[in-house]
Structure 1
Amino acid sequence: MISNETDARSFIAGLGGAEAIAKLEVLAEDLRAENARQNLVSKGSLEEVWVRHFADSAQLIPHVPRETRGAWFDLGSGAGFPGLVLAILRPDEPTVLIESRKRRIEWLEAMARKLELANCEIEGKRLELADTRKAAVISARAFAPLPKLLSLSARFSTARTHWVLPKGRSAAQEVEELPRKQRKMFHVEHSITDDEAGIVVGQGKVEA
């Protein structure tokens, strides 16, 4: 388990090195400033931003095979977690952040420019209106109940698409309640930042 800011930094450094750490330090500073203007994240979580937001996002990467190539779609990106963190840690692969709220879109675009994330695309639309493209990986943090999430994002999936969906303590229950065919596609991995949380992991095309 990652339980403190020092361990979180070390974990992330192992994934992205010094350049990633430097960019995340900028993101942390700007997040605190922006959070005073709009409620991006809970105020209390800013005291543990490296654990609660950065490592919590970065832990999704080891659940995707290293040879995976192609766009990682982050649905309902909000404040940018996991999307911005993924873009920082995977600079050679495209990351598409889909977000519909105007002020969140402006925040994401501003940070992508400031952090020089050439691989990061912000698609400022409701998910239902987003362009249909095929995703190598799909993630979504606190976006929608699992059945609705899969229904909305099915058109982005292929037989090779990897799914990594942080679902908190409800993860196992949400998988269990899926239709049988979908249920066989997914399993739950334990979060390394919250011992009560789980991550729904799977691979394949979801039928809408």
Structure 2
Amino acid sequence: MITTNAEARSWLETLPGYDAEAAERLECLVAMLAEENQRQNLVSAASLEQVWLRHIVDSAQLLTHVPRETHGPWYDLGTGAGFPGLVIAALRPECEVVMVESRARRIDWLERARIAMGLDRARIAGQRLELVESQRASVISARAFAPLERLLELSSRFSTGDTIWVLPKGRSAQQELQDLRKWRHVFHVEQSLTDPQAGIIVGKLTDRKG
């Protein structure tokens, strides 16, 4: 279990492909986040004290469940402040990352951060998920976006039998998976590396029942 900023930064160095340029992109994100958070409440002020643990590595750990050769498109639904979308794009700049966010101030923030970080393969889909044009995704992520059943209702149209879902669900992960009734899937819960009580739903969606 990773419990401090120092441990979080050390863990990042173990990721395949992590280099000085990736580190620079993340440093840029952390600096911009601290500044922007004074203008709009992107994340809780308290969480900024452990930003590398609570936001950077909490997002980056999703990459351990996705093959490195996956180049997207990676759809991050309800990106909000940019987690995990901006972190994924920073660590995999060759991957097409689509960040779906409908709130105007968040869209503006995401676009400014994307440009400052040099994320040319990333883009912001600045509208409600229901209005986003369907495209087959290689990966779908969503952090605190919607309950699992509702999330699948909204986004299954982006999924194929090969799409990998990586869904941080906190303490509710196991219960939400147990309560899932309408879908055929091969989901399971992985332990979060940053929170002993949190889980990540990982796997593939095969079909809807009925």
Normalised to the residue count of structure 1, the TM-score between the two structures is 0.96
Q: Aligned letter for 1:51?
A: L
Q: How far apart are residue 147 of structure 1 and its match?
A: 0.3
Whether the aligned pair in 2 keeps the contact of 1:71 and 1:135 (CA below 8 Å) is: yes
Whole-Å Cα distance in 1 between the matches of residues 206 and 119 of structure 2?
29
* Aligned pairs, number: 207
CA RMSD of aligned residues (A): 1.3
Mind listing any 5+ residue stretches in structure 2 that lack a counterpart? none
Q: Aligned letter for 1:77?
A: T
3-state DSSP class of the match of 1:200? strand
Whether the aligned pair in 2 keeps the contact of 1:9 and 1:21 (CA below 8 Å) is: no
Q: Aligned letter for 1:75?
A: L
* Structure 1 residue 23 corresponds to structure 2 residue 33: no
- The residue number in structure 1 matching 2:200 is 199
Q: Aligned letter for 2:50?
A: E
Whole-Å Cα distance in 2 between the matches of residues 207 and 114 of structure 1?
41
Q: How far apart are residue 68 of structure 1 and its match?
A: 2.6
Whole-Å Cα distance in 2 between the matches of residues 13 and 19 of structure 1?
12
- The residue number in structure 2 matching 1:5 is 5
When structure 1 is superposed on structure 2, of 55-64 and 20-29 the one drifting more is 20-29
Q: How far apart are residue 206 of structure 1 and its match?
A: 4.5
Whole-Å Cα distance in 2 between the matches of residues 154 and 168 of structure 1?
21
Q: Aligned letter for 1:189?
A: E
Q: How far apart are residue 29 of structure 1 and its match?
A: 1.0
When structure 1 is superposed on structure 2, of 7-16 and 39-48 the one drifting more is 7-16
Whole-Å Cα distance in 1 between the matches of residues 148 and 109 of structure 2?
26
- List aligned pairs for 1:107-126, cutoff 5 A: 107-126=109-128
Whole-Å Cα distance in 2 between the matches of residues 55 and 173 of structure 1?
24
Mind listing any 5+ residue stretches in structure 1 that lack a counterpart? none
Whether the aligned pair in 1 keeps the contact of 2:183 and 2:207 (CA below 8 Å) is: no
Between structures 1 and 2, the one with greater helix share: 1
3-state DSSP class of the match of 2:75? strand
When structure 1 is superposed on structure 2, of 47-56 and 10-19 the one drifting more is 10-19
Percent identity (aligned)? 57
